[in-house]
Amino acid sequence: MFINGAWVDAIGGETFEITNPATGAVIGQMPDGDERDADAAIAAAHAAFASWSTTTAYERADILMRAWQLMKDRAGELAELMTTEQGKPLKASRFEVGYGADFLRWFAEEARRITGEWLPSSRPDQRFLAVRQPVGVVAAITPWNYPISMLTRKMGPALAAGCTMVLKPAEATPLCAKAIFEILHEAGVPAGVMNMVTAQNPVPIGDAFTSDTRVKKLTFTGSTAVGRLLAGKAAASLQRVSVELGGHAPFIVYPDADPEQAAKGAAALKFLNSGQACISPNRLYVHRDAADAFVDTLTARVQRLVAGNGMDDGVGVGPLVNDAAVDKVAAQVEDARDKGAGIPVGGYRLTDDGLDKGHFYAPTLLTDVTPDMTVYREETFGPVAPVVVYDDVDQVIELANDTHYGLAAYVYTQSLKTAITAFEALRFGIIGINDVNPTSASVPFGGMNDSGLGREGGHEGLDEYLETKTAGISLR
């Protein structure tokens, strides 16, 4: 673990193994910490806050830019580590490293734009000054599906704002987190400013984060169930909370859309990271007039996908994170099959050619999906594309909004009127219009309802780490 500028073992001396999800091979081990280690990390961050929070924005920006350059220089080795530890194809890992690095550069630039303002008073002899200052110690908990970009999306604004941080990375992917901490240390982040606690059991760490009054903000990316639990506990300490949670994204193909273009977009996005993405489309609403062409194109695309070890050439779909994830996907597919869904492609676990040693499920297409199927209601987090045929254009927005989630949604249409109408009516935080990659370090990312609180990225991402302080100044 990394505490107060040094690599240390867990206080209890325990460790846990990290395995490759494609092969089952052990690729490393990390300290298995507990609440004592979390306390030590929080203490280090708390002690470092006084000095770090008074550094200039230019100093903080310079460190972030050095870290960005180091990430760019080491992009190849970081991508290989990610594929080995997380499983996604090497091409996708390279993309994520670049995306993750972008957050460091973006917030290095934003650090110099933290400003205040003079505000008017009704009294001629009074002035008001409002400034923004760092919130304090930040506790961060990050997921395994994007094990580098989800770190930098939190680290970048925290460091830019002048906060200190304690990170608990996902137990499945701590080696990627370790590599990023090595870069931050080399870039010149002072001791105690960034700390990392690793553990196989996240519960004691989460409890320590949410109960310690020295922690002023909690940021979490993960499941809605865990996010609710953490936010509830953080409320007792009145910690500021931002949580980016699950999704159940609709993908709407209007009758005027090019069905082949829409199907190509759906295939590219749905099977990205084996469907293990919170913005992955989970309900593909296709108008009956476009359904045949859409399904034919999507079927052909899915049939060409190659599942396997992400380090191998030509592989487009890697493993799922563990056997429990495979079982969840299999259960949803079997439920759909039993209730009448068609399965023109996939629908089974992959075990041939050594894939039985990993956690693989075949890229799958479901047709004739209906609202009584589990896959229609629950986030899949796997390589399954469920197609729902609809007839009433006026009703499809209502169908899309019929979920407790509200993270991402997608619309394919050639009509500007339809696009704007859908954009305004869909109750989701991120909308892709003829676009399957509506994200960037420079734009806000986050959802509504059960998909979370707060935004990451963009100008809003920095605001999450700043408090506003106001001075009333008498001129008498």
In the residue annotation, 244 being an active-site residue is answered as yes
Burial 123-158 (b: 16+ CB within 10 A, else e): eeeeeeeeebbbbbbbbbbbbbbbbbbbbbbbbbbb
Catalytic residue among 85, 96, 110, 244: 244
What is the distance between the alpha carbons of residues 315 and 390, in angstroms, rounded to a whole number? 33
Q: How far apart are CA 101 and CA 105, in angstroms?
A: 7
DSSP assignment string, 125-173 = TEEEEEEEEE--EEEEE--SSSTTHHHHHHHHHHHHHT-EEEEE--TT-
| CA geometry: angle 24, 28, 34, nearest 5 deg | 110
Contact between 386 and 336 (Cβ < 8 Å):
yes
Alpha carbons 256 and 50: distance in angstroms, whole number:
58
Rg (CA), the chain: 23
Q: How far apart are CA 42 and CA 209, in angstroms?
A: 8
Other beta carbons less than 10 A from residue 190's beta carbon: 15
CA-to-CA distance for 60 and 160, rounded, in angstroms?
6
User: Shortest CA distance to 210 belongs to which of 231, 227, 194?
Assistant: 231
How many Cα atoms occupy the beta-carbon half-sphere of 319 within 13 Å? 28
Structure tokens at 26: 């052990």
Q: From residue 425, how far is each of 246, 250, 329, 406 by CA, in Å?
A: 20, 13, 30, 12
> Is 176 annotated in the active site?
no
Spatial CA neighbour of 302 closest among 367, 376, 381: 367
Specify whether the CB–CB gap between 332 and 384 falls below 8 A. yes
Segment (H or E) for 307: none
CB distance 442 to 449 below 8 Å: no
CA nearest to 114, candidates 464, 434, 456: 464
- 110, 163, 176, 278: the catalytic one is 278
Distance CA 102, CA 161 (A): 17
Task: List phi, psi (to 5°) of 145.
Answer: -75, -30
Write out the catalytic residue numbers: 244, 278
